[in-house]
Amino acid sequence: MLAMQYGFDLPDDFDMDTLRRRIPEIGGRFDALPHLHLKAFLLAGRTATAPNRYAPFYLWDDPAGAAGFVTSPDFAAVQARYGRPLVHGWNPIAHLQGPAAGQVPRFATQYFENLPDTTDLVQRAADERDAAAELASAPVVHSVFAGLDAQGWQVNRTVLWQGPPPASAAGRVFELLYLSAPRGVRSSGTGDAART
């Protein structure tokens, strides 16, 4: 498994509703990507400390799927629309389903932390597995991914939530506008139902 993400910061006056309308229309195109475990279309509005952001998050069952996607016409269309993004990747430390795994998630939180050279990686990985297990026990959690970028030495903790995350949740909160998940629950594209 491999996690992959790219994102785009959007101007303060960008009409976010255009993406809220567009994403459910195009989301189904990604439901059958080879080797895709899931793709979460994430959108966050501007805050006092962060700009508007569109940031698709992918989990691939096989890294070959990621390579195939970034060299595909679909990714070329992303580049044509927004410019070529930096594509980040994380190897899994933990990936757990929560009690809401059978429901369509509507929100996500993402927490990133850069690790100093003095980090005990054995202990940190154990801590991330423990944190993932604790998060995955919450009733509204769909799934939890914790991963490590061993080039940039960064930890990524991404949680998909069926309902609004608690105020105590670490990281930035995103709307999850469509979920492509070939082997599980995914968005219907209408926001009303799920299909498996």
pLDDT at 185: 59
Summarised one tens digit per residue, pLDDT across range 85-107 is 999 999 999 999 999 999 999 99
Summarised one tens digit per residue, pLDDT across range 158-172 is 999 999 999 999 999
User: Looking at the domain 2-195, which fold is it?
Assistant: Alpha-Beta Plaits (3.30.70)
The residue that leads in pLDDT, 88 or 192, is 88
Residue position matching structure tokens 């939890």? 144
pLDDT at 187: 59
Summarised one tens digit per residue, pLDDT across range 8-61 is 999 999 999 999 999 999 898 888 889 999 999 999 999 989 999 999 999 999
Q: Which helix (H) or strand (E) holds 177?
A: strand 172-180
188 pLDDT higher than 60: no
pLDDT at 186: 58
pLDDT over 90 for what percent of the chain?
A: 84
Residues in the chain: 196
Domain ranges of the chain: 2-195
pLDDT at 176: 98
pLDDT at 74: 87
Residue 112 pairs in a beta bridge with 156
Q: Which DSSP symbol is given to 138?
A: S
CA–CA dist 36, 59 (Å, integer): 6
pLDDT at 184: 65
